[in-house]
Amino acid sequence: MKLGFLTACLPDQPLDAIIEWGAAAGYQALEVAAWPAVGNRPFTATHIAVETLDRSAAEDIRERFDTSGLTLSSLAFYDNNLHPDPAERSAINEHVLACIDAAALLGCPTVGTFVGRDPSRSVAANLAEAEEVFKPLVDSAGEKGVKLVIENCVMEGWHPDGYPGNLAYSPELWEWMFSIGLYLNYDPSHLVWMGIDPVAALTPYIDRIPHAQAKDIQVFPELRNRYGWPGKAIDRPDPWDVGWWRYRVPGLGQVDWTAVVDALYEGGFEGVLSVEHEDPIWGGTEDKVKTGLEIAHRTLAPLIVG
């Protein structure tokens, strides 16, 4: 197992600078942001422009990673592959394919994305459509020796009432994903607020988890008693403001990282555990983000063997 982080938390830094800082900070891998350069969604970045990547540029990037001693663990493009607007959905699907092509050139084993959801349709209808949408994506990944991994993020802000906007939030849905050739980018933080034991959920599926993320969560039960599980209903101008929990860097929340890492080792996990930094306390400036990554490293590095 190696310890890495997702580069999206440093959107204004070039990849070379992130590689240099990550290696100096003791990290062993990077999960590299590969969203399209257009758009300004939070927690996204473009550290590799996959649409224009050619073999020569890929070789240069591979050499930079090799020289630093870091591993390129995944390309990250987390968007709604079931977007209700046909043109938007097509563009997202095409970008996933571009990420797969880039991963093959880079020797990168995984590409991360979301299943997504059309919030106007039932879960059953979405899953039936997803089987058709993902078939060419899974086929392309298989042909190129890349695994397409889905993070179990709930993406509640994509649904008008705060319900799951990414149909990958439970083991029931993981089994559906596996049946169509997808893999899991496991993140325990989302399971905590869903009321799912992150270790019990993890244990049966480790052979379908080539990559994992490390994000923590802080829950406020007294606020949940007011808003209920879906979160704020009346006064919620920010669709992501659930109102009773917030993300933290590992070590500052309620995830039992010793138990999670121990379960990964016991199950034979040999991939990268990648810190996904979305902590509002240790965010907002580059210095604070890097401090957050240092806190995460101090928490997790002692649990990673050699």
Alpha-carbon distance of 104 to 185, in angstroms, equals 18
Residue 101 lies in a domain: yes
Mean per-residue pLDDT for 1-22? 98
CA 103, CA 110: separation in Å to the nearest integer? Answer: 7
Report yes or no on 123 lying in a domain. Answer: yes
**What mean pLDDT comes out for the span 120-140?**
98
Domain-located, residue 90: yes
Instruction: Report yes or no on 219 lying in a domain.
Output: no
| pLDDT (0 to 100) of residue 125 | 98
Residue 233 located in a structural domain: no
Question: At residue 252, does pLDDT exceed 70?
Answer: yes
Please report the pLDDT score of residue 25 as a whole number: 98
pLDDT, tens only, 73-90:
999 999 999 999 999 999
Determine, yes or no, domain membership for 266. yes
306 has a pLDDT exceeding 70: no
Please say if the pLDDT value at position 129 is more than 70: yes
In percent, how much of the chain has pLDDT > 70?
Answer: 99
Could you report the per-residue pLDDT of 139-165, keeping only the tens digit for each?
999 999 999 999 999 999 999 999 999
CA distances from 201 to 4, 189, 192, 245 (A): 23, 12, 11, 20
Residue 289 lies in a domain: yes
Within-domain flag for 224: no
**Of residues 76, 69, 65, the one with CA closest to residue 26:** 69
pLDDT score of 212: 98
Q: What is the mean pLDDT of the chain?
A: 97
Residue 152: predicted pLDDT: 98
pTM of the model: 0.97
CATH number at residue 196: 3.20.20.150
pLDDT at 40: 65
Residue 52 has pLDDT above 80, yes or no: yes
pLDDT for position 43: 81
* Structural domain span for residue 24: 2-214+248-303
Pick the range with the lowest mean pLDDT from 39-43, 94-98, 173-177: 39-43
Domain total of the chain: 1
